[in-house]
């Protein structure tokens, strides 16, 4: 057995002490990482349709300025699936309801500019647009002729209720069209896939004439109208 000097014993004791002290320091962050944050700490404010509010656009954001092909318009909109759907709505409106010009469509609005209890709050998450709000002011009805209204109902029906028209709300806003499902809803994904197929298929999609008076399309439109009126905000 080797001889242990006083110096060796002191050195060994110091190393062990430091090891224990260091272990204590490392243990605290590990324990903190395992502590789940409270739901209140992680919850973020959302618009009426359940999408997260956005304070700024075009800067570390989900909302960016996007063109609407075939029109002079561009909109601030939640990119991806929401963009695909709302752009489709605007294009059909442009081709079949009334021609749109630059500035006719308003997308995102700051959270401070909308009423959080109304459907217009969806604009603050980039998931709604107003088409010619000056022509169809909030609170009034009857802004569209019957053939135009038939097209609007057809647009909503072909999108399987993923979009809601503000004209059906208890306080109507006939200029407003908004996403009516929450994030990650399978219906949104399915509708976007349909739009993509239409874009790649000659004779399909926005800009292609459709018979909105066809019995099947009218039946679907009326059924959706009844459902969405029944859930008026």
Classified as helix, coil or strand, 108 is coil
- CA 72 – CA 31 distance, rounded (Å): 56
pLDDT digits (tens, 9 = 90+) for 207-216: 888 899 999 9
HSE of 144, CA atoms in CB hemisphere, 13 A = 22
- CA 176 – CA 38 distance, rounded (Å): 36
Pairing of strands 74-78, 63-67: antiparallel
Determine whether 154 is exposed, middle or buried from the number of CB atoms within 10 Å of its CB (0-12, 13-18, 19+).
Answer: buried
Q: Please check whether residue 188 is in contact with residue 181, taking contact to mean a CB–CB distance below 8 angstroms.
A: yes
Whole-number mean pLDDT of the chain? Answer: 86
| Average pLDDT, integer, range 124-137 | 96
Q: Please check whether residue 93 is in contact with residue 100, taking contact to mean a CB–CB distance below 8 angstroms.
A: yes
pLDDT digits (tens, 9 = 90+) for 66-85: 999 999 999 999 999 999 99
Which one is predicted more confidently, 70 or 32?
70
Q: Which residues of 55-74 are buried (b: 16+ CB within 10 A; e: fewer)?
A: eebeeeebbbebebeebebe
Which one is predicted more confidently, 38 or 218?
218
Helix or strand (DSSP H, E) at 25: helix 6-34
Q: Please check whether residue 63 is in contact with residue 108, taking contact to mean a CB–CB distance below 8 angstroms.
A: yes
Residue 230's pLDDT band, with cuts at 50, 70 and 90, is confident
pLDDT digits (tens, 9 = 90+) for 47-66: 999 999 999 999 989 999 99
Q: Which of 199, 168, 169, 76 is nearest to 128 (CA)?
A: 76
Alpha-carbon separation of residue 163 from 9, 124, 218, 232 (angstroms): 77, 16, 17, 13
Classified as helix, coil or strand, 56 is coil
Q: Please check whether residue 178 is in contact with residue 127, taking contact to mean a CB–CB distance below 8 angstroms.
A: yes
pLDDT at 220 over 70: yes
| pTM of the predicted protein model | 0.81
Q: What share of the chain is helix, strand, coil (3-state, %, to 5)?
A: 45, 10, 45
Which one is predicted more confidently, 82 or 32?
82
| Average pLDDT, integer, range 87-109 | 97
């Amino acid at each position: 057995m080797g001889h242990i000097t006083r110096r060796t014993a002191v050195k060994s004791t110091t190393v062990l002490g430091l090891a224990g002290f260091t272990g204590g320091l490392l243990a605290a962050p590990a324990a903190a990482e395992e502590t789940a944050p409270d739901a209140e700490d992680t919850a973020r404010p959302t618009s009426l349709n359940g999408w997260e509010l956005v304070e700024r656009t075009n800067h570390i954001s989900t909302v960016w300025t996007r063109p609407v092909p075939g029109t002079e318009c561009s909109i601030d909109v939640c990119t991806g699936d929401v963009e695909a759907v709302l752009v489709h709505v605007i294009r059909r409106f442009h081709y079949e309801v009334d021609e749109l010009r630059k500035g006719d469509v308003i997308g995102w609005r700051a959270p401070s500019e909308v009423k959080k209890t109304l459907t217009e709050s969806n604009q603050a998450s980039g998931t709604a647009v107003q088409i010619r709000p000056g022509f169809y002011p909030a609170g009034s009805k009857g802004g569209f002729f019957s053939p135009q209204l038939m097209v609007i109902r057809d647009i909503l029906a072909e999108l399987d209720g993923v979009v809601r028209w503000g004209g059906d709300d208890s306080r109507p806003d006939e200029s407003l069209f908004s996403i009516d499902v929450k994030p990650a809803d399978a219906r949104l994904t399915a509708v976007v896939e349909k739009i993509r197929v239409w874009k790649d298929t000659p004779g399909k999609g926005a800009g292609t004439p459709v018979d909105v008076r066809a019995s099947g399309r009218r039946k679907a439109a009326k059924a959706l109208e009844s459902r969405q009126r029944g859930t008026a905000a």
